Amino acid sequence: AQSVTQLDSQVPVFEEAPVELRCNYSSSVSVYLFWYVQYPNQGLQLLLKYLSGSTLVKGINGFEAEFNKSQTSFHLRKPSVHISDTAEYFCAVSDIVGQGAQKLVFGQGTRLTINP
């Protein structure tokens, strides 16, 4: 079974500074990776996904992530953060379960706090 580890539970950053949120997954033959964002008291929204192809994936709101197969990592980056990026971020890997259904396995989440 797949597993995901988010290495930092909380990341405080000053506004306009760069940020990296780290994610490692258990290795598998095929892997599909996702980053979701959860703003306070809301559901999860997809930031970006890696299914195949280019290892550098660009998402919404200026975020990007790099798939590194040798290090089994999928770290999320943004060169300059804004107050509005304050949220919880979840890394997830897709696993195929019964009847071909896709199941997402989530990391524990990283709370990103942007300070002025």
Q: How many residues does the chain have?
A: 116
Minimum distance from residue 15 beta carbon to other proteins (Å): 26
Q: Which of 7, 8, 44, 77 binds other proteins (CB under 8 A)?
A: 44
Name which position in 16, 18, 28, 46 contacts other proteins (CB under 8 A).
Answer: 46
Q: Which stretch binds other proteins (CB under 8 A): 21-29, 67-75, 76-84, 107-115?
A: 107-115
Applying CB under 8 A, the site for other proteins has a residue count of 27
Given the complex with other proteins, which of 4 and 81 has the nearer CB atom? 4
Using CB under 8 A as the binding rule, the residues of this chain from 78 to 97 that contact other proteins are 90, 94, 97
Task: Decide: residue 56, CB within 10 A, 0-12 exposed, 13-18 middle, 19+ buried.
Answer: exposed
